[in-house]
Structure 1
């Protein structure tokens, strides 16, 4: 039950806002892989910004789709997405790919490596909040886009600390995520977050807190 609730929380946190991309888990992964296969390096070099945005999004769809199925493919497509977004400073895409790299390493119990990528994702979020330019909006990222990306990352870091039995740290990051959910009235996300916190305290034997 604990594992299921954490996966569910990550699912919700990864797609709160309408800016989130399509979720291809469990379907269309083969066809999506065939669609991106034509994008060899020479084709990428000649692609328009719109085409690169769509290709980056497709790589992240594959990254997400394989995150619970095949960690090697998850890492592969995360790095393919980053090969487009990193040199162009597309920080929302960078933060997303770094976060799923962190999740892939966490799944293989490489917790230190997982935290390295979560920290890289945090840095990308702070650049979003600064002067980073969105590829789809020359005015940059909106406060809501930044907060959406930030809250997903806060929840993921909280889950990692919870798995590592660093409960005070986990609760600190959960509080950060919850504050953003409260800000925008994202009640479904808050409900799952509180459920996850309750389960954490049950496992710690603190039934009153749970």
Structure 2
């Protein structure tokens, strides 16, 4: 093509057609219009595109300012604009959170999706003498599917608990107690693993 359009003019064609080369989801024509009035900074480039047959122009619709001009890409201009599109950018790297969003209805939060064994609060007593305890059930326990539950009377006191803090008058105190218990649990687990390695020479 003689007088090949400049990059700015190609950009105007893309904008007219609703094309965004930098976006994977906006690479298909969905409109064909560019309204510009007297003194518009893009007017020289728009007229240049009209001169080479890549755009046409006509009066705007009646609800628009009649001093403006409605520019549109011709069939040749549309084919040219599409041909000038660079390759689509690669898809963004999917994260675990993206995978979670695809099936979040099946999980009780992101940590449940990740398989993190969350602690939870238990509660006992009436409102005048209420106590709280933070516990963590073993993996595989039916109780650990619930992120938070406060009514201790709903759960069996004989259910196996992996880590448990002390009963406390506030949730804040219960959480602090749980952190101490968790630290001791991890220390004991680490020492047990070391004893096993020494015993079996692993």
Greater Cα radius of gyration, structure 1 or 2? 2
Query: Does TM, scored on the shorter chain, surpass 0.5?
Result: no
Q: Which has the higher helix share?
A: 1
Q: Which has the higher strand share?
A: 2
**Structure of greater relative contact order (alpha carbons < 8 Å, 6+ residues apart):** 1
**Could you state the TM-score of these two structures normalised by the residue count of structure 1?**
0.20
**Could you state the TM-score of these two structures normalised by the residue count of structure 2?**
0.20
